[in-house]
Amino acid sequence: MENGNGKLATPAAWNFTPNDTLLGLSALSVRGVLCRVKAGMVEDGVRPVVPMGNGDSSGFPCFRTPPEAEDAVADALRSGQYNSYAACVGVEPARRSIAKHLSRDLPYELSTDDVYLTNGCAQAIEIVCSVLARPGANILLPRPGYLFYEARAVFNGMEARYFDLLPENGWEVDIDGVQALADKNTIAMVIVNPGNPCGNVYTYEHLAKVAETARKLGIFVIADEVYAHLTFGEKKFVPMGVFGAVAPVLTLGSISKRWVVPGWRLGWIVTNDLNGVFQKTKVHPCSYIDVNNFISSSGVFRSGLGHGVQVVDSIKNYLEISTDPPTFVQGAIPQLLENTKQEFFHKTVNILRETADICCQKLKDISCITCPSKPEGSMFVMVKLDLSCLQDIKDDMDFCFRLAKEELVVVLPGCAVGYKNWLRITFAIEPSSLEDGLDRLKTFCLRYNKPKK
Ligand SMILES: Cc1ncc(COP(=O)(O)O)c(C=O)c1O
């Protein structure tokens, strides 16, 4: 629009600015940190890049999803039955089949209504953090951990408090630490089992202690089981939902890791709540407030005040104002769950066992790196960097940046999982590539080796 002098009219000041809550949150994202790690890397056309930084093995032939899973999606797509919008909680057959699938590992049956479909487990985290955030509330998170939880909590105005995982005890939860951190504004604690970034697998007994602690504190457990059943040590996977009668549990999961299809974006939130606590606890209507244009709520878990919205209704409300996973992927779920053969799962777990062994074995030859606890699940191992053995390396970020630049090997600095001067190594890659990557890691460490005085 012109102002009559042939010039465009300009307001005194523009009314908009970006949301400053986002400032600094990319430091909490694996993708954001890996982008910085790779900033100096130039592919030389001779040596292939070895990607041991992220948790996506779908590009490696040995981890390719089985034909039954691909057929399930192709059949759903071709059927013409899944071209429409889906119900906001997800299509009924998919919810029913996920309830049946997860119930196999539980001492009770889940119902279709316990399951809500999401865009991968990442959106499940986003939803749970949005639904439960209220001013002053805090959530207890594991350290080292998957910092996406902190990003989503902070974005919604919730405080993130960290309890330790204990490396000398197979990265178990420091239960005393949890009790010391909690107060009357604590709403939930998160566990990731099998673990990212530690490769931990928790025993039945340890999970029972977690549930008992949650019950004592009057909080619920968010069980991130995106790596469910990816276990290759002595311990079998036990779902937290087994303890749904002790304390209420929200189980988060997806097909991303077990079926090696993170790009298909299909996950879930499941309520494991045998005493109906989530139904009883309500958000009081007059305590709704508007923070950063998100409706967050007060007194969600403890208060149970008045005739408000139940926790489960708030999840549905949130789903009504967010995007659904593609309907044809939802439509593929019953066939995918029913038809995937056990051989595929066995093969995946066998390769993970082999690559975890290769990784731990080769790391023994690198003196500046120590591995306190051998991974038994997921696809990661946490290792400690001894910077005193290395010259000219400032910290874990500097280490990873130079390693990527000089050796084309990508690993994640510990700062991206809340553990400075450690590294998270992904071993879910082709075994030959892993050996190559670890050999280059050793060469790099020798090059920077500080001569002993
Ligand atoms: C612990 C954890 N939770 C959630 C996610 C997100 O899973 P999805 O790819 O299904 O969104 C990841 C992805 O790496 C993860 O490691």
Does 244 sit in the ligand 1 pocket, CB within 6 Å? no
Whether the predicted pLDDT of 61 surpasses 60? yes
Whether the predicted pLDDT of 425 surpasses 50? yes
Q: Which of 257, 268, 333 to mutate to test the pocket of ligand 1 (most atoms within 8 A of CB)?
A: 257
Alpha carbon distance 143, 163 (integer Å): 6
The strand pair at 267-272 and 249-254 is best described as antiparallel
In ligand 1, the atom with minimum distance to the C-alpha of 253 is: 10
Does 415 sit in the ligand 1 pocket, CB within 6 Å? no
What is the 316 CA–ligand 1 centroid distance (Å)? 21
Q: How many CB atoms lie within 10 A of CB 347?
A: 14
Q: Rounded to the nearest 5°, which phi and psi values hold at 113? A: -70, -10
Cβ pair 422, 384 in contact under 8 A:
yes
Does 196 sit in the ligand 1 pocket, CB within 6 Å? yes
Cut 0.85: pTM above it: yes
Cβ pair 158, 137 in contact under 8 A:
yes
In ligand 1, the atom with minimum distance to the C-alpha of 378 is: 16
pLDDT digits (tens, 9 = 90+) for 214-228: 999 999 999 999 999
What is the 443 CA–ligand 1 centroid distance (Å)? 32
pLDDT digits (tens, 9 = 90+) for 363-389: 999 999 999 999 999 999 999 999 999
Single out the residue of 273, 180, 231 nearest to residue 374, CA to CA.
Answer: 231
The strand pair at 289-291 and 294-296 is best described as antiparallel
SS3 373: coil
| CA angle in degrees (0–180, nearest 5) for 32-33-35 | 65
Paired tokens of 20: 């400053």
pLDDT of the residue at 285: 45
Does 253 sit in the ligand 1 pocket, CB within 6 Å? no
Kindly report whether the peptide bond that precedes residue 144 is cis, defined as omega within 30 degrees of 0: yes
Supply the residue whose CA is at minimum distance from atom 7 of ligand 1. Answer: 121
Mean pLDDT within 395-422: 98
Label residue 287 by pLDDT band (50, 70, 90).
Answer: very low
Q: How many CB atoms lie within 10 A of CB 409?
A: 25
Whether the predicted pLDDT of 274 surpasses 80? yes
Q: Which of 34, 141, 196 to mutate to test the pocket of ligand 1 (most atoms within 8 A of CB)?
A: 196
pLDDT digits (tens, 9 = 90+) for 190-207: 999 999 999 999 999 999
Whether the predicted pLDDT of 308 surpasses 80? no
Paired tokens of 170: 């197979």
Does 226 sit in the ligand 1 pocket, CB within 6 Å? yes
- 146-173: burial string, b at 16+ Cβ within 10 Å, e else: bbbbbbbbbbbbbbbbebbbbbeebbbb
What is the 406 CA–ligand 1 centroid distance (Å)? 29
What is the 204 CA–ligand 1 centroid distance (Å)? 23
Return the domain boundaries, the chain. Answer: 26-63+342-447, 67-339
DSSP letters for 315-370: HHHHHHTSPPPPHHHHHHHHHHHHH--HHHHHHHHHHHHHHHHHHHHHHTT-TTEE
User: What CATH code would you report for 67-339?
Assistant: 3.40.640.10
Does 273 sit in the ligand 1 pocket, CB within 6 Å? no
pLDDT of the residue at 196: 98
pLDDT of the residue at 394: 97
User: What CATH code would you report for 26-63+342-447?
Assistant: 3.90.1150.10
Q: Which residues have C-beta within 8 Å of that of residue 178, sequence separation ≥ 6?
A: 140, 163, 189, 213, 217
pLDDT digits (tens, 9 = 90+) for 313-366: 999 999 999 999 999 999 999 999 999 999 999 999 999 999 999 999 999 999
Total residues found in the chain within this entry: 453
What is the 244 CA–ligand 1 centroid distance (Å)? 22
pLDDT digits (tens, 9 = 90+) for 25-59: 777 889 999 999 999 999 989 999 999 999 999 99
Alpha carbon distance 4, 300 (integer Å): 56
What is the 125 CA–ligand 1 centroid distance (Å)? 9
Residue 64 DSSP symbol:
P
Alpha carbon distance 22, 101 (integer Å): 37
SS3 155: helix
pLDDT of the residue at 452: 73
Whether the predicted pLDDT of 306 surpasses 60? no
Alpha carbon distance 141, 162 (integer Å): 5
In ligand 1, the atom with minimum distance to the C-alpha of 192 is: 1
Whether the predicted pLDDT of 289 surpasses 50? no
Paired tokens of 84: 């429409």
Q: Which amino acid, residue 119?
A: N
Q: What percent of the chain has pLDDT over 90?
A: 83
Label residue 283 by pLDDT band (50, 70, 90).
Answer: low
pLDDT of the residue at 28: 82
pLDDT of the residue at 2: 53
In ligand 1, the atom with minimum distance to the C-alpha of 146 is: 1
In ligand 1, the atom with minimum distance to the C-alpha of 266 is: 10
Cβ burial, residue 31 (10 Å; 0-12/13-18/19+)? exposed
pLDDT of the residue at 346: 98
Q: Which of 121, 196, 227, 261 to mutate to test the pocket of ligand 1 (most atoms within 8 A of CB)?
A: 121
Does 57 sit in the ligand 1 pocket, CB within 6 Å? no
Does 90 sit in the ligand 1 pocket, CB within 6 Å? no
In ligand 1, the atom with minimum distance to the C-alpha of 123 is: 11
Higher pLDDT, 330 or 10: 330
Cα distance from N-terminal residue to C-terminal residue, the chain = 74
Does 124 sit in the ligand 1 pocket, CB within 6 Å? no
The strand pair at 422-426 and 309-310 is best described as unpaired
Mean pLDDT within 448-452: 87
- Average per-residue pLDDT for the chain: 92
Cβ pair 165, 146 in contact under 8 A:
no
Task: Identify the top-confidence range among 152-156, 280-284, 294-298, 345-349.
Answer: 345-349
Does 251 sit in the ligand 1 pocket, CB within 6 Å? no
Q: What percent of the chain has pLDDT over 70?
A: 92
Residue owning tokens 């790779």: 38
The strand pair at 282-283 and 309-310 is best described as antiparallel
pLDDT of the residue at 4: 60
Mean pLDDT within 244-251: 98
Assign residue 67 a region (left: φ > 0; alpha: ψ between -120 and 50; beta: otherwise). Answer: alpha
Whether the predicted pLDDT of 294 surpasses 50? no
CA 71 to mean position of chain CA atoms: 27
